[in-house]
C-alpha cells in the first residue's frame, strides 16, 4: 500500500497525507519516536484511517521538524513539545495578523513535505492577497529564497527545489500575464546570462515595467548573445535586461559581456542579479548599466512622456 494517500481534512478539501514510515524517512525521526511523542505529548496529532493508520499532514510534518530541531539542541522532549504546541498556536494567530508571512510559510512547508497539492493550494491562496507586485515581492520571491537556502543546506532535495521552481515560477508567469499592458507603449526584453538557469527574477522585473505600460518579453534561462541579438533586431525593445546570479570565470564573464554589448548595439541594456557587482567594471566598459531597474527610470519616464 502506498505511503502517500489522499484524504479529506477538516475543511473537506482533498489533501495529501503521509503514513508514518514515509514521515520517518522525510524527517529523520524513527517511527517509534513519532509514536512516543504522540502518546506522551500529543505532538503531533495525526488523523487516522478507519483502520487506525496514522495519516500525517504538512502541518504535522512541520511540527515534527521543529520538535526534532529542539531536541537536537539539547532541550528535553517534554519541554520541546510544550514549545512546539505554543508555536503552533502562534502560527495560527499569525495567519490572521500577517497573511503574507503565513503564505510564505505555507509554501515553504508544502515544499519541505513534498506535497504538490498543498503547494498548489498555498499558491492559489497567495494569489488573492494583494496586487501582483505585492504577491511576487512579499510571497513568491521570499519563498523562493527560503527554499534555495534549504536546498543549499541539504534540507530539501534537488527534486523538491525543481518542483518548487516549476510551480512558483508558474504562479509568477500567471501574475505577469494578468498585468501585462494591452496595448503597451514599448517592449522590454528580459533574459538570463548564457550560463544562468534561474529565470524567476525576470518575472519581478516584468511586473515592475508593467507599471509604465511596458510589455515584458522574457527569453528565459541560458540565453546566448546571438539569441538576444536576434530578438533585439526583431522586437526593437526599449531596453534589454539581463540577469546574472551564478559566478563565472573572468574569461567567460568578459566573453559574455562583450557578446551582449554587441547584441544590444544602441539599445540600452542593464545587468542585475546576485553577480552584478562582480560584473560592474566589465559592463560599464562595454556601455551597459549595472544595478536595479530604477537606474533606467529616466529612460522609462522619457518614453512615457513621449
Which CATH topology does 1-95 take? Multidrug-efflux Transporter Regulator; Chain: A; Domain 2 (1.10.1660)
What pLDDT does 5 receive?
46
| Residues 184-237: tens digit of each pLDDT | 889 999 999 999 999 999 999 999 999 888 999 999 999 999 999 999 999 999
In CATH terms, are 1-95 and 182-305 the same topology?
no
Which CATH topology does 98-179 take? 1.10.1240
| Residues 261-275: tens digit of each pLDDT | 999 999 999 999 999
| Residues 172-184: tens digit of each pLDDT | 999 999 888 888 8
- Can you give the residue ranges of every domain in the chain? 1-95, 98-179, 182-305
| Residues 4-59: tens digit of each pLDDT | 444 444 333 334 578 899 889 888 899 999 999 999 999 988 988 888 899 987 77
DSSP states along the chain: --SEEEEE-TTS-EEEEE-HHHHHHHHT--HHHHHHHHHHH--S--EE-TT--EEB-HHHHHHHHHHHHHHHTT--HHHHHHHHHHHHHHHHHHHHH-HHHHHHHHHHHHHHTT-HHHHHHHHHHHTTSS-HHHHIIIIIHHHHHHHHHHHHTTSS-HHHHHHHHHHHHHHHHHHHHHH--SS-SEEEEEEE-TT----HHHHHHHHHHHTTTEEEEEEESS--HHHHHHHHHHH--SEEEEE--S---HHHHHHHHHHHHHHHTTS-EEEESTTHHHHHHHHHHTT-EES-GGGGHHHHHHHHH-
Q: Which CATH class is domain 182-305?
A: alpha beta
Task: Say how far apart CA 46 and CA 57 lie, in whole Å.
Answer: 7
What pLDDT does 295 receive?
72
Amino acid at each position: 500500500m502506498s505511503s502517500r494517500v489522499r484524504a479529506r481534512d477538516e475543511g473537506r478539501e482533498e489533501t495529501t497525507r503521509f503514513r508514518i514510515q514515509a514521515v520517518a524517512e522525510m524527517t529523520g525521526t524513527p517511527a517509534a519516536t513519532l509514536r512516543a511523542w504522540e502518546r506522551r505529548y500529543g505532538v503531533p496529532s495525526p488523523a487516522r484511517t478507519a483502520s487506525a493508520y496514522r495519516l500525517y499532514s504538512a502541518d504535522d510534518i512541520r511540527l515534527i521538524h521543529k520538535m526534532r530541531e529542539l531536541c537536537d539542541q539539547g532541550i528535553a522532549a517534554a519541554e520541546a513539545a510544550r514549545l512546539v504546541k505554543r508555536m503552533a498556536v502562534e502560527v495560527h494567530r499569525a495567519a490572521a495578523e500577517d497573511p503574507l508571512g503565513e503564505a510564505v510559510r505555507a509554501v515553504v512547508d508544502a515544499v519541505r513535505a513534498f506535497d504538490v497539492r498543498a503547494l498548489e493550494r498555498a499558491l492559489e491562496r497567495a494569489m488573492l492577497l494583494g496586487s501582483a507586485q505585492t504577491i511576487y515581492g512579499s510571497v513568491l520571491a521570499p519563498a523562493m529564497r527560503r527554499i534555495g537556502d534549504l536546498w543549499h543546506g541539504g534540507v530539501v532535495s534537488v527534486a523538491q527545489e525543481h518542483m518548487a521552481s516549476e510551480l512558483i515560477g508558474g504562479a509568477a508567469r500567471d501574475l505577469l500575464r494578468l498585468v501585462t499592458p494591452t496595448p503597451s507603449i514599448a517592449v522590454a526584453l528580459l533574459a538570463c546570462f548564457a550560463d544562468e538557469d534561474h529565470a524567476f527574477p525576470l518575472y519581478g522585473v516584468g511586473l515592475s515595467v508593467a507599471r509604465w505600460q511596458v510589455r515584458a518579453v522574457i527569453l528565459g534561462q541560458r540565453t546566448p548573445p546571438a539569441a538576444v541579438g536576434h530578438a533585439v533586431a526583431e522586437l526593437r525593445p526599449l531596453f534589454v535586461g539581463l540577469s546574472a546570479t551564478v559566478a563565472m570565470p573572468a574569461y567567460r564573464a568578459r566573453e559574455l559581456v562583450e557578446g551582449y554589448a554587441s547584441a544590444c548595439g544602441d539599445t540600452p541594456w542593464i545587468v542585475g542579479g546576485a553577480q552584478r557587482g562582480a560584473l560592474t567594471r566589465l559592463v560599464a566598459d562595454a556601455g551597459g548599466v549595472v544595478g536595479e531597474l530604477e537606474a533606467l527610470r529616466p529612460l522609462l519616464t522619457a518614453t512615457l512622456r513621449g
